[in-house]
Amino acid sequence: MIASRRLVLAHLWTAFIAFAAACVLGAWQMWVRSPLRPPLATPENYFLSVTAHGSAMAYVLTTFFIMGFGYYVAETALGRPLPRPRIAWAAFWIAMLGTLLALGTVLSGRATVLYTFYPPMTGSAVYYVGLVLVVVGSWVWVGLMVEAMRRWKKAEPGRPVPLAMFATVANAIMWAWTTVGVAAELLFQVIPAALGLVQSVDVGLSRTLFSWTLHAIVYFWLFPAYIAFYTMAPAAAGGRLYSDTMGRLTFVLFLLYSLPVGMHHLFMDPEHSTGFKFLQMVLTAFVAVPTLLTVFTITASMEIAGRLAGGRGLFGWIGALPWHRPMVLATGLSFVMLFFGGGGGLVNMAYGMNAMVHNTSWVTAHFHLIFGGTVVIMYFAIAYAIWPSLTGREAGSFTRQRLQLWLWFIGMMVTTLPWHWLGLLGQWRRVALFDYTNPTIAPWAPWVIVSFVGGLILLVSALLFVANLAGRHVPALRALPPRYAQSHHEASHVPTALNGFGFWNAAVAVLMLAAYGWPIAQFFVEPSPGAIVHRVDR
């Protein structure tokens, strides 16, 4: 068992408890939107629930999972104790305090602003301060990840940083950049408004700052899934990683191209010119590159495993893979969801076509399929994979784990495919109650009921996941060391540029200056008339 097991378990359990509670809310929300109206279906309760669901999933599940998994990787991939464990615990408690403050405020009904804030609408300052504390906790984690890698490089001069840790530090550095936008929005605009220090807000500026964070935050969530693809799935399948270098390149490209693209969330906004929207749209297209590289490398790695297991022919290796292993199964299901979710994303990105789908259920479907599907199913697989080395106990059988993964996949498809369709029909999002007597809306009813059924399947899967982790495990027969995939050709040396981040940080700075320099500066050169603060907490 690993030394920081209590630290890692504290983070993961916090993440998964928030996740399960948010799944209950999500299923209830689909019930409210359907013609079947459940009890307590008022706009107050619905939007409170949406705020809690979004905040718990986007800020609590992700941040705590990524921090916990990062500590795990730092210890196991580097084979060294974690630096400064007391500071890591302090960061945990800061983030925990922030979580309790933020979610408590939401549940008290004093911050029904949704998890994306929407100033000049303004809730209680406690909600925003709570979220800032969660981010502060994660900043400490960033520092610890960088320090763990630096200490290792000092002790092992000239050797390549293990891929799992290289990727974790890439994510940590990207996260530090990512949080600048939302931190500036909260600290300089939203919290002063919530405290009553200012009476108006420049909404164009606040939206631009939030967009800085909006895309890269999704890649922050996505990184653990990709780390599992590269460093865990090939080992679980009984093969090898096709190319270590391609993995490094992918993670560096994510660091580079996740950030200067957030304005694609503002295509339909009036406060930016076509030129900068076009520039960021082009950069967004480049984000597809690391994902396409990954699809290739992981498929090639799986092919190695399948052929080692005796698979023959063009596709025979697919059937020969050990699909009974949760990590292999989750990777396969994740790729299917990535196919649909990524395709939908290309439509969102195409800045003309975006007008057809902007703020419709299409968008809700896209991010649930990409984040809730592709990414979260890999969180499950990671948890199943590392649980034995955290608890010293093994699952008796994989059957319940596989059942849970299949339910999640089916539930996600049944929920989101109708949403895509409804979005194309014009169903707009963030609506509590639809008027099903309206002739345009009436035909949507059956599809909304189908996605409510999908929501129920997801809820069953979420509860089964928690039960699988908490349930009875058999004591392990032997010590359970974590297993990372070996590369097909072991990287004995890598270019300096792919063994650190100095150069890439400079490159991100240049790209961000080009992509966001003027779009932010314009609000100071020619200030917009402010919008009056609208309080929702009194």
Partner 1 sequence: MASEEDVLRTEIRWSYVVAGATALILGAILFAGLARGINPPSNLERIDPKTLHLTGEFAEGNLGTRVAPNGDVTVRIVTTQFAFVPQCVVVPTGRRVTLRFASPDVIHGVLVAGTNVNTMVIPGYVAQVHSTFTKTGDLLTPCHEYCGLGHSQMWAVVRAVPPDRFAADAEGRANCDRL
Enzyme catalytic residues: 215, 219, 366-368, 429-430
Nearer to partner 1, 93 or 286 (CB): 286
Cα separation, 260 vs 264, in Å, equals 10
Spatial contact of 470 and 387, defined as CB atoms under 8 Å apart: no
Query: With respect to partner 1, which residue has the nearer C-beta, 200 or 399?
Result: 200
Whole-number Å distance between alpha carbons of 261 and 511 = 10
Beta strand segments in 385-493, E: 393-394, 474-475
Determine if 356 is a binding residue for partner 1 (CB under 8 A). yes
Question: Which of 88, 163, 203, 237 touches partner 1 by CB under 8 A?
Answer: 203
347 and 238 Cβ atoms separated by less than 8 Å: no
Residues 134-173: x where in contact with partner 1 by CB under 8 A, - otherwise, as a string: ----------------------------------------
Subset of 264-323 contacting partner 1 (CB under 8 A): 266-274, 277-278, 281-282, 285-286, 288-289, 292-293, 296-297, 300, 304
Helix 5-33 and helix 43-55, axial crossing angle in degrees, nearest 10: 150
Q: Which is nearer to partner 1, 144 or 182 (CB)?
A: 182
Segment (H or E) for 200? strand 200-201
Residues 63-82 that bind partner 1 (CB under 8 A): none
Interface region with partner 1, contact rule CB under 8 A, candidates 10-18, 169-177, 403-411, 423-431: 423-431
- Which CB, 280 or 331, lies closer to partner 1? 280
Amino acid identity of 371? F
Nearest residue (CB) to partner 1, 147 versus 269: 269
Residue 429 contacts partner 1 per CB under 8 A? yes
Considering only residues 215-244, where is the footprint of partner 1 by CB under 8 A? 242-243
Q: Which of 26, 70, 120, 342 binds partner 1 (CB under 8 A)?
A: 120
Is 488 a binding residue for partner 1 by CB under 8 A? The answer is yes
Residues 346 and 344: their CA atoms lie apart, in Å, by 5
Number of residues in contact with partner 1 under rule CB under 8 A: 71
CB of 199 to partner 1, least distance (A): 10
Helix (H) or strand (E) holding 201: strand 200-201
Q: Judge whether 356 and 403 are in contact, CB under 8 Å.
A: no
Please select the residue that binds partner 1; options are 354, 404, 415, 468, rule is CB under 8 A. Answer: 354
Least distance in angstroms from the C-beta of 166 to partner 1: 18
Phi-psi region of 426 (alpha: psi -120 to 50; beta: other; left: phi over 0): left
User: Can you tell me the distance from the alpha carbon of 420 to that of 349, in angstroms, rounded to the nearest whole number?
Assistant: 15
Pick the stretch among 124-132, 185-193, 227-235, 357-365 that binds partner 1 (CB under 8 A): 357-365
In whole angstroms, how close is the CB of 418 to partner 1 at the nearest point?
A: 17
Find out whether 455 and 411 touch, Cβ atoms under 8 Å: yes
The answer to whether 95 and 137 have CB atoms below 8 angstroms apart is yes
Between CA 382 and CA 240 the distance in angstroms is 18
Compute the distance between CA of residue 89 and CA of residue 6 in angstroms, rounded to an integer.
Answer: 10
Which residue's CB is nearer to partner 1, number 6 or number 430? 430
Among 188, 335, 367, 428, indicate the residue that binds partner 1 (CB under 8 A). 428
Element (H, E) at 503: helix 502-525
